[in-house]
Amino acid sequence: MTNDVETLDPRQVSSDTTLARPRRQLVLTILYHPDFGRVGERSWLPPVASAAPAAVSRQTPIRVGCGDGQLGDGEECDDGDLNFAGDYGPGRGGNVETALGPERVADRVLSLVADAGETVDVGFGAYVWNDHILRPALRRLRERGFRGRIILGGPQISYQDHDLERLYPEADVFVRGYGEQALVELQRARAGARITGVHWAGAEDRGERTTVDLDQLPSPFLNGQIDARANQRFVRWETQRGCPFRCSFCQHREAGARLRRRDLNNARVFAELESFVAAGVESIAVLDPIFNAGQRSTRILERLAELGYRGRLSLQCRFEYLERFPGFLDACEQLDVQLEFGLQTIHEAEGRAVNRLNALPKVERAIAELHRRGINFEVSLIFGLPEQTLASFRQTVDFCLERQVPTIKAFPLMLLRGTELERDRARWGLIESDDPIPAVIASDTFTRADWDVMNAISRALRDTQGAHPRDVETLLAGARDADAEPRWSPPKSAA
């Protein structure tokens, strides 16, 4: 790993990165497991995360090695596999190959950068769901002679305040925050250049995050980086970034803290809508943490209806905002929508412990109104919360069952890196599992045996989606073995 860190004047770097031709080639490699996204959905290459940097600078040579579902040529990945695609460009697809672990990741990356020498950068997004494969894969890359630079970004990097070199000793560069502009600057700058949000291994770590001007980010959908006409039936799409709330278990809030504004500009958003409809896209999953947090969300839906969109639209929403923006549900009735609400818990003590309080009277009115209008919706819950007990979790599930919520999903609490809850774990006595993707399995208020029952309830909810019984007792009667592997964590052998 290169340690010759060069210190440059920031004004020189700015000029250099703006005017200079790219010095290096970048290969973005996304390790993605379908089970850790939206269950049952398929996506396609390249995802927004990999196409956005290329959209910022069409001069920078960027290739993608990725595994995220359906390719431009119509081939599909099998659920449960980590897959990679070949070089991607407008009008080209790729060949799907299965990556069984770190060795296979190293094989695929080395094939993409063959003969590139030290002038190539390989970029990885580090997430809680791929960290157990990424770290040994980086070791194998170095052991097998990779001499280029390794760049890491993603939540595992952005929310780690220090000791990045200790966790990822093979990496040369770390990017905290949104990476589109920083990645392009890295390809044009000299080693060690001062770039906001970029930490060079071996240099002083200032803990900075990238700054992003959303108005200046070009659309990968509109400039051809992602061609929605090329058999792309499903897209993941964003209209905003960050979240105004302060849930202590979530990373969204801090990720958006450095943004001067959270909304992508109207011209881009509405032009992308038109392109999706013209391309015949059949399903749009909106990535916004809370889509209905403003009046513009209603106008977006109205515009889709005006354009004659007939596909599925999945939206993450908040119950309380349905009353604040009453026209939103009117617009939903004109489309095929699936509204996803994060309730997490009905108990004030649990909500207060994680800064996630609900206005239950508004929640109840919202559920009744959704039923009255016949709008599809689902509710997600968390088990393993501070102050939670087995009895209180059952009460939360019963609350939803009694109100005939069509689809209820319960997920285990995870202590995501850099969150307030992760830092305060000792306060609540939170104990994690030793799975590749750890979950909280015990605390001061529930035992491992309690958690096993909560896990069984979660699995029973999954197995009865769309046809839940009216109470937890009936739900548990047909539950599967609680000792089975959780669906959100790969088998330990995969590590």
Of the pLDDT bands very low, low, confident and very high (cuts 50, 70, 90), residue 51 is low
What mean pLDDT comes out for the span 319-326? 95
Helix segments in 189-235, DSSP class H: none
CA distances from 104 to 69, 93, 117, 140, 463 (A): 18, 21, 20, 10, 33
Q: Comparing 14-28, 105-119, 327-341, 415-429, which segment has the lowest mean pLDDT?
A: 14-28
On the question of pLDDT at 489 being above 70, the answer is no
Q: What is the pLDDT of residue 26?
A: 80
Task: Supply 270's token pair.
Answer: 């509405």
Residue whose pair of structure tokens reads 């993605």 in the numeric block: 32
pLDDT at position 300 over 60? yes
Site of tokens 């210190």:
7
Q: What is the pLDDT of residue 369?
A: 98
Write out the CATH class of domain 233-484.
alpha beta
Q: Which two tokens stand for residue 143?
A: 């052991």
Angle between helices 131-143 and 102-112 (to 10 degrees): 60
pLDDT at res. 115: 72
Correct CATH for 10-200 of 3.40.50, 2.40.50, 1.20.58, 2.60.40: 3.40.50
- Tokens for 412? 């285990």
CB 150 within 8 A of CB 170: yes
Mean pLDDT in residue range 380-404: 98
Residue 11 pLDDT: 27
Give the pLDDT confidence score for residue 17 in this predicted structure.
36
Distance of CA 11 to the CA centre of its chain: 34
Sequence ranges of the domains in the chain: 10-200, 233-484
Query: If you average pLDDT over residues 367-375, what whole number do you get?
Result: 98
- The pLDDT-based confidence of 93 (bands split at 50, 70, 90) is very low
Q: Which residue has the higher pLDDT, 252 or 40?
A: 252
Residues 6+ apart with CB under 8 A from 394: 457, 472
Taking only the tens place, the pLDDT of each residue in 185-212 is: 888 888 899 999 999 999 999 999 998 8
- pLDDT tens for residues 124-183? 999 988 898 999 999 999 999 999 999 999 999 999 988 999 999 999 999 999 888 888
Question: Residues 465, 376: contact at Cβ < 8 Å?
Answer: no
Q: Assess contact for 403 and 364: CB atoms under 8 A.
A: yes
Tell me which residue of 385, 377, 319 sits closest to 348, measured CA to CA: 385
Name the amino acid, one letter, at 282. E
User: Does position 40 have pLDDT exceeding 70, yes or no?
Assistant: no
Closest CA to 407 of 370, 455, 372, 451: 370
Per residue in 431-486, pLDDT (tens digit) is 999 998 899 999 999 999 999 999 999 999 999 999 999 999 999 987 654 445 55
